Amino acid sequence: MAQKPSIPKGTRDFSPSEVAKRNFIMQTIREQFEKFGFQPIETPSFENSETLMGKYGDEGDRLIFKILNSGDFLKKANQEAFDQKDSLKITSSISEKALRYDLTVPFARYVVQHRNELEFPFKRYQIQPVWRADRPQKGRFREFFQCDADVVGSDSLWQEVEFVQLYDAVFSSLGLKGVTIKMNNRKVLSGFAEVIGESDKLIDFTVALDKLDKIGEDGVKKEMQEKGISSEAIEKIQRVFDLHGSFSEKIEVLKDILATSEIGKKGIEELEFINNALAELGLYEANLDLDVTLARGLNYYTGAIFEVSAPKGVAMGSIGGGGRYDDLTGIFGMSGVSGVGISFGLDRIYLVLEELDLFPETVAGNVRVLFINFGNKESLYCLKAIKALRAAGIAAELYPEEAKMKKQMNHANKREIPFVVLAGTKEIEDGQFTLKDMKSGEQSTVNLQELKEKIGS
Amino acid sequence: MAQKPSIPKGTRDFSPSEVAKRNFIMQTIREQFEKFGFQPIETPSFENSETLMGKYGDEGDRLIFKILNSGDFLKKANQEAFDQKDSLKITSSISEKALRYDLTVPFARYVVQHRNELEFPFKRYQIQPVWRADRPQKGRFREFFQCDADVVGSDSLWQEVEFVQLYDAVFSSLGLKGVTIKMNNRKVLSGFAEVIGESDKLIDFTVALDKLDKIGEDGVKKEMQEKGISSEAIEKIQRVFDLHGSFSEKIEVLKDILATSEIGKKGIEELEFINNALAELGLYEANLDLDVTLARGLNYYTGAIFEVSAPKGVAMGSIGGGGRYDDLTGIFGMSGVSGVGISFGLDRIYLVLEELDLFPETVAGNVRVLFINFGNKESLYCLKAIKALRAAGIAAELYPEEAKMKKQMNHANKREIPFVVLAGTKEIEDGQFTLKDMKSGEQSTVNLQELKEKIGS
């Protein structure tokens, strides 16, 4: 292979500093998940195709990566499909496994498969990669990590309260101030459709409303009309477009708008409960807002809907989202299991922290000190000190070869190692080390204990 | 789907306690890697097929999981292969990507692709899953994690010294005493073949010798003879079968056996250098041994060969291995890059720690305290305390529903949560909490500060 090797489009190599930063985010999220009582599970990278296919719609089916059966797979291929050279039709007969497309369906499968071992309510988190054969573009990859936390087996609204607290705790721990946790409720959206007499057009209605940010009030109204919602109907909820003020103020207006809708009132009641509890408990850094245009895969959610937006001034889509779904496991024949969950958008959070320069300097986990190699006798002397430093938790290493001094110093520079130790005959005799601070250029002669103290900080 | 869902054979779901234990091992390894100056990289789960195919032999090619192209893949299928219904031949035309089979070839690809950004010697570690379409059996899976550390761009034997220290540091940190790090050197094996005049039968010779543990001395000799190695030749290295004593004692005997072989003497010199350095530096818990029967994928290694065996009394194959290879990146057109690396067998280490009961009790990361739910007012009171506990780093949660007391207590029991808090009207009035130790059954009334202290330990 003469040409330079490459990786498949839409995938990424991560360099040491990128891995360190990603781990920092994941570790922060993991710690908060655990403080909130969520437990980790992991599921296989590939599932039986029948577990995944048909769960994400036709488009989803198309975007699922399929794994070719091993051995003489054509032997068992569907003959008719083979004769017709029908790729779509032949797939299920030559591919029995497929790569995970998200973490939700595998979680549902897990819950059903292990139902007898699990204690409900079951709070699980999962941080694993997923794969989608999407067209790659800026910020959209074919392999990316999802970070999900869900509770199944409880209808309690305290879960929703906890998820807002969890978002707040994670983003505050990451040093990311000023995120906004937006909430809505599917029942409020149903209420809108009801009061305008267009319950059968709920989806069209909310899909249009969801675009308010992008296409403005006139654009939304135009789209609604195109979908057959009359301007008289739209007029009835004009106040929805004019909503402003605090969460509580919006609630008061909504109570009035939805006064005639039982389901709408239920939605408001839920939102009010959550808002009141959080007002009592307080949030660290995040803002909580009510956004009635929020829909996020409406077919999926049945109650609360969450979405987190980055601090003002950072151009970035949502950095997290989730909601309540009444029937997670029905697709696998286990009904009546209500769930609610949220996820964190790792790649976008990474970009936001990078843009705001919020990664701690120490995150790179770089080596603290490089020992210069002056030969075998000196190296052995150095390695004794290195062993002691490592035992004290300090990352340290010996340059492996007796190369020219300049080359070794350059190595330390390029790797941004903050300290260098030089130990030759004189130092060995005295049981000392010459320590050089690579930033200030300062040199000092120290013993092992002083060495530990100076570079350990 | 009426039937209970399942996962593909050879794959695993990991429960919360399994994930916690696996993370404990990986985190311990990661910390030592970093103390030794290794930096993390991550590569995509799938590579272009041409990157992987042909790198692991025919058997390897067969065991690589191939990903079916998206869309109308049959349209671009090799017509001849299609007409002949030849699965093997058609594969490359309908599958352009394949799942990672190990971490070494992707690492070689990474080094070549990023050669201009890397500073050599480059010390990298990588902890990621790999996939093999092997027949699943006890302890062998189709998806499993590899944990590798390698240095490329240096011939220095100090690297070998460091890898022995690294193994020692990791297993000592895991509390696993009495592992044996076995070393050999490809050059010593070449020397044996040379002194018996059978250099062209090096592979047959070492493959047979590698089985000494399993089939005994007579078995090995029989196999050698079957491969055409004369009994006179075998006689010349009879002393190889009789080797015993310490590392240094074996070295002395080998010097004599290999006195006429330049390459053999070079191998001994390398082993002696490593052994002497380690004798000076000392190991924490591991034993170092010289095992001339060790071969481990001989075609691959060119110098040092490592293998780690579990403590005596634990029936388990090797829990780690590695060695030096002179030409890692030649397969991608970049020659002259010497490397040396080791890997840790995560699944087997897990089984050994489980068998010896060495996982720390705290590893599960379980919630420390469950607050009983007596209603909304009480829950709000509890959530304030829970918020304070979490801020102090203590995992705590509220039972989400006002269920019967017995049900809530059962929940705490089943999840093995060590403490339960009961806070009703009386406690709220007094600003107190009733704390129950689930193990001893003891109850006490405490304020928030005392609560933190009692359950935080």
| Residue-wise DSSP of A342-397 | EEE-HHHHHHHHHHTT-S-GGGG---SEEE----HHHHHHHHHHHHHHHHTT--EE
Quote the pLDDT of residue B328.
86
For residue range A272-293, what is the model confidence (pLDDT) as tens digits?
999 999 999 999 999 999 999 9
Among A11-20, A112-121, A307-316, B359-368, the minimum mean pLDDT is found in: B359-368
pLDDT at residue B13 greater than cutoff 60? yes
CA distance B227 to B204: 7
Interface probe with A: pick from B35, B143, B362, B414, most Cβ of A within 10 Å: B35
- Which among A129, A380, A398 has the least Cβ separation from residue B45? A129
Please give the backbone phi and psi of residue B56, each rounded to the nearest 5 degrees, phi first: -125, 15
CB A89 within 8 A of CB A80: yes
CA distance A263 to A253: 16
CA distance B325 to B125: 17
Domain map of chain A by residue range? Answer: 16-355, 366-456
> What is the complex's ipTM, to 2 decimals?
0.95
For residue range B405-444, what is the model confidence (pLDDT) as tens digits?
999 999 999 999 999 999 999 999 999 999 999 999 999 9
Q: Give the helix/strand (H/E) hosting B421.
A: strand B419-422
| Structure-model confidence comparison of residues A338 and B4, the more confident one | A338
Q: Going edge to edge, which strands form the sheet with A180-185?
A: A39-40, A122-131, A143-152, A339-344, A318-325, A304-309, A180-185, A287-290
B305 three-state secondary structure: strand
Q: Given CA atoms B231, B236, B242, B246 in this order, what sign does their dihedral have? A: negative
CB A224 within 8 A of CB A208: yes
Report the b/e string of B156-175 with b at 16+ CB within 10 A.
Answer: bbbbbbbbbbbbbbbbbbbe
Looking at residue A350, its amino acid is Y
**Residue of chain B whose Cα is closest to the Cα of A169:** B391
pLDDT-derived band at A298 (thresholds 50, 70, 90) equals low
Among A70-84, A321-335, B63-77, the minimum mean pLDDT is found in: A321-335
Q: Residue A395's Cα: distance from chain center in Å?
A: 30
Q: Max alpha carbon distance in chain A (Å)?
A: 95
Tell if the CB–CB gap between B159 and A5 is shorter than 8 Å. no
pLDDT at residue A105 greater than cutoff 60? yes
* Gyration radius of chain B's alpha carbons: 29
- Percentage of chain B modeled with pLDDT above 70: 99
CA distance B254 to A191: 87
pLDDT-derived band at A158 (thresholds 50, 70, 90) equals very high
pLDDT at residue A4 greater than cutoff 50? yes
Among A131-140, A379-388, A411-420, the minimum mean pLDDT is found in: A131-140
Tell if the CB–CB gap between A45 and B280 is shorter than 8 Å. no
Interface A-B: count of C-beta contacts within 8 A: 284
Average pLDDT over residues A370-387: 97
Tell if the CB–CB gap between A4 and B62 is shorter than 8 Å. no
Cα distance from A310 to chain B (closest Cα, Å)?
Answer: 23
Among residues B342, B308, B307, the alpha carbon closest in space to that of B325 is found at B342
Cis peptide before A106 (omega within 30 of 0): no
CA distance B141 to B427: 53
| Structure-model confidence comparison of residues B353 and B331, the more confident one | B353
- List Cα–Cα distances, A105 to A102, B1, B244, B348, in angstroms: 7, 13, 57, 30
**Residue of chain A whose Cα is closest to the Cα of B410:** A119
Quote the pLDDT of residue B3.
64
CA distance A316 to A368: 35
Residues of A whose CB is below 8 A from B398? 158, 162
Give domain A366-456's CATH superfamily: Anticodon-binding domain (3.40.50.800)
Within 13 Å and on the Cβ side, how many CA atoms surround B384? 18
- What secondary structure letter does DSSP report for B136? P
CA distance A259 to A180: 28
pLDDT-derived band at B298 (thresholds 50, 70, 90) equals low
Q: Give the helix/strand (H/E) hosting A322.
A: strand A318-325
Q: What CATH number is given for B16-355 in this structure?
A: 3.30.930.10
- DSSP secondary structure string for all residues of A254-307: HHHHTTT-HHHHHHHHHHHHHHHHHHHH--SS-EEEE-TT--SSTTT-SSEEEE
- Residue matched to tokens 């408001």: A268
Quote the pLDDT of residue A1.
46
- Which among B4, B112, B159 has the least Cβ separation from residue A5? B112
pLDDT at residue B363 greater than cutoff 90? no
Tell if the CB–CB gap between A36 and B398 is shorter than 8 Å. no
pLDDT at residue A296 greater than cutoff 90? no
Outline where A151-261 has alpha helix (H): 158-173, 186-195, 202-209, 212-226, 231-236, 238-241, 247-257
For residue range B83-140, what is the model confidence (pLDDT) as tens digits?
999 999 999 999 999 999 999 999 999 999 999 999 999 999 999 999 999 998 888 8
CA distance A275 to A181: 12
| Structure-model confidence comparison of residues B48 and B366, the more confident one | B48
- DSSP secondary structure string for all residues of B32-89: HHHHTT-EE-B--SEEEHHHHTTSSHHHHHHHSPEEPPSSSGGGGS-HHHHHTT-HHH
pLDDT at residue B1 greater than cutoff 50? no
Cα distance from B191 to chain A (closest Cα, Å)?
Answer: 26
Outline where A128-157 has alpha helix (H): none
pLDDT at residue B457 greater than cutoff 80? no
**Residue of chain A whose Cα is closest to the Cα of B73:** A87
- DSSP secondary structure string for all residues of A2-27: -SPP---TT---B-HHHHHHHHHHHH
pLDDT-derived band at B296 (thresholds 50, 70, 90) equals confident
Q: Give the helix/strand (H/E) hosting B206.
A: helix B202-209
Binding residues of B: 102-104, 132, 146, 150, 296, 300-301
Tell if the CB–CB gap between A395 and B36 is shorter than 8 Å. yes
pLDDT-derived band at A127 (thresholds 50, 70, 90) equals very high
Average pLDDT over residues B34-54: 97
CA distance B4 to A112: 7
Cis peptide before A16 (omega within 30 of 0): no
Quote the pLDDT of residue B327.
85
Tell if the CB–CB gap between A73 and B50 is shorter than 8 Å. no
Beta bridge partners of B98: B47, B66
Tell if the CB–CB gap between A280 and B380 is shorter than 8 Å. yes
